[in-house]
A = this chain, B = another copy of it.
Amino acid sequence: MGTPGFASRWFDVRAKHGPLVFGLDPSAGVLRDWGFDDTADGLERFVDVALEGAAGAVGVVKPQSAFYERHGWRGARALTRLVADARSAELLVLLDVKRGDIGSTNEAYAAAYLGDDAAIPADAITLAPYLGLGAMGAFFERAVAAAAGLFVVIRSSNPEGRRLQESRDVEGRSVEQQLVAELRERNDAVAPDGVGPFGAVMAATREPPRDIDLRAMNGLFLAPGLGAQGSTIEEIAECFAACPDRVLASASRSLLAAGPDRSRLRDEVLAQAAAATAALGGRS
């Protein structure tokens, strides 16, 4: 037996820490509020404090690549260290990069972020599907080989994406439905008896979606924007009532607001982790 697949690894950390994901998003505003320089050195200090708040309190951290790329190659170096230190602390790293291209470009992105020999070896990454999931074979293949996970953006939390995401093909299926159907096919192919490694980023709506069978996708869901960006944990539980055990609920700003004091940050992470577990289940 090799490393278990990403879903299996996630169920393990969920049983210990519940479904909360800690978004490590060091925006200029956060660095300022924490009293750190808006430089790569400030970023390194942020990484230290944030990981201390996360380790042993949540199962998954989700760095948003943009906030590291903003500091150029030194920011990429800080992200590299973040990923290594997080994994040493038994945190899963879901790297939010929203990549997606075609052909050999996807091979290069997959090699950059998936697998132990990757430059920045994440446990899972996010993908943007505008060029079609059919073009993303390099990601799917490498994710299976590396026991890594993929989260494809299906429904974003912002209203400006709705027109595109709700557009329909000639058979009347929305873009969201098309993509979920493709994820289901791929999950069924690699994990016919369980939950597969190909998940969806899906912002919570106030009611469960009527036109998408969430449970049938046989994959995990990343629900972004818990707290400051709008969703409450109760809304997330309502939206994903068909499969609450498969939801990764991600909070960032509402947690980071408690820093940089280490004990206040940790208390806030533990409190929100407990609330997420109460709403969605978890911790055996």
Q: A64-B105, A69-B112, A166-B169 are in contact. Are A153 and B132 (CB under 8 A)?
A: no
In the complex, whether A160 has a CB less than 8 A from a CB of chain B is yes
Q: A71, A72, A99, A106 — which one has the most chain B CB atoms within 10 A of its CB?
A: A72
Q: How many copies does the complex hold?
A: 2
Determine if A75 and B132 form an interchain contact, defined as CB atoms under 8 angstroms apart.
no
In the complex, whether A111 has a CB less than 8 A from a CB of chain B is yes
Determine if B73 and A77 form an interchain contact, defined as CB atoms under 8 angstroms apart.
yes
Determine if B119 and A100 form an interchain contact, defined as CB atoms under 8 angstroms apart.
no
Contact code string A41-75 (vs B, CB < 8 Å = 1, else 0): 00000000000000000000000101101111111
Q: Whole-angstrom distance from the CB of A48 to the nearest CB of chain B?
A: 18
Main secondary structure on chain A at its contact with chain B?
A: helix
Which residues of chain A from 69 to 94 have a CB within 8 Å of any chain B CB?
69-77, 79-80
Q: A131-B153, A132-B162 are in contact. Are A76 and B72 (CB under 8 A)?
A: yes
Contact code string A151-171 (vs B, CB < 8 Å = 1, else 0): 001001111111111111100
Nearest residue (CB) in B for A40 is: B119
In the complex, whether A109 has a CB less than 8 A from a CB of chain B is yes
Q: What is the CA–CA distance of A255 and B160 in the complex, to the nearest angstrom?
A: 39
Which residues of chain A from 105 to 145 have a CB within 8 Å of any chain B CB?
105-109, 111-113, 119-120, 128-135
